[in-house]
Amino acid sequence: MNKPLILIVEDDAPIRNLISVTMDAHAYRHITAADASAGILQAATHNPDVLLLDLGLPDLDGVEVIRKIRSWSSMPIIVISARSDDADKIDALDAGADDYLTKPFSVEELLARLRVTLRRLNQFPQDGQESSVFTNGELKIDYLAGCAFLGGEELHLTPIEYRLLCLLSRNCGRVLTHKYITQQVWGTAWENNVASLRVFMATLRKKLEAGQKSSSCIQTHVGIGYRMVKLDP
């Protein structure tokens, strides 16, 4: 495989340079842009493997950049934003971002997010073909048969728990917001369903952790949503 190409869109020069240096040191190729319009042009011209996108750009809001790029590309997008901006992160995820990094972030954190995103790319080829069986650690889901197994034993899930599990697994590696999950599972009126979502997620987790030494593959992002992480085989 060629070295992955990372597009860095960030107006803050010291942060842009830090990321560039990190990419050089870790076998990634990179290109950079200091504002949204240059970033969109670079994305269209070079079709990078991953876009690292600052949300606070001088010419256009990062969330608008995501909407524009999503109109023609499914390239993975990791947004970078300040700690205080949970609402911005949620907007960015709902607009189609895959993940987020909070400033200030460590180089290790950045590299970990890139690995997760690239692994997801390799796992789910972009040709629209979906495998009928999903496995992650001890968990196995047979989408066609409509059942899930843990360590070879069938999991007894309620219909909503099963839908939640399928949704998370089909988006393994991505952070899904409360709004997105409740819309997918219940349809509308998501505000009223976030409390229900917490309850269903707690029972689903308990079932996924039963008899397991490690914790479940579902991460909580407080105030934002949930993500299924790919466990090492």
In the complex, the residues that contact Ca ion under the rule CB under 5 A are 11, 54, 56
The smaller minimum CB distance to Ca ion, of residues 11 and 85, is found at 11
For residue 209, the one-letter residue type is: E
Nearer to Ca ion, 101 or 176 (CB): 101
Minimum CB separation of residue 37 from Ca ion in Å reads 15
CA 135: distance to chain centroid? 18
* Strand ranges inside the chain, DSSP E: 5-9, 29-33, 50-54, 77-82, 99-103, 133-136, 139-142, 147-150, 153-154, 176-177, 218-221, 225-228
Nearer to Ca ion, 4 or 56 (CB): 56
Q: Output 80 or 114, the one with its CB closest to Ca ion.
A: 80
Looking at the Cβ atoms of 59 and 153, the one nearer to Ca ion is 59
Phi, psi for residue 81 in degrees, rounded to 5: -150, 170
Smallest separation (angstroms) from Ca ion to the CB of 36:
10
Nearest distance from residue 29's CB to Ca ion, in Å? 23
Smallest distance, Ca ion to C-beta of residue 61, A: 11
Least separation, in Å, of the C-beta of 54 and Ca ion?
Answer: 4
Question: b vs e for 173-203, b when ≥16 Cβ sit within 10 Å of the residue's Cβ?
Answer: bbbbbbbbbbebbeeeebeebeeebeebbee
Tell me the closest approach of the beta carbon of residue 56 to Ca ion, in angstroms.
4
Task: Using CB positions, name the residue nearest to Ca ion.
Answer: 56
Please give the C-alpha separations between residue 135 and each of 86, 129, 181, in angstroms, as whole numbers.
Answer: 31, 16, 21
Residues in the chain: 233
- Residue among 89 and 140 whose Cβ is closer to Ca ion: 89
Distance CA 136, CA 147 (A): 14
Q: Which amino acid is at 195?
A: A
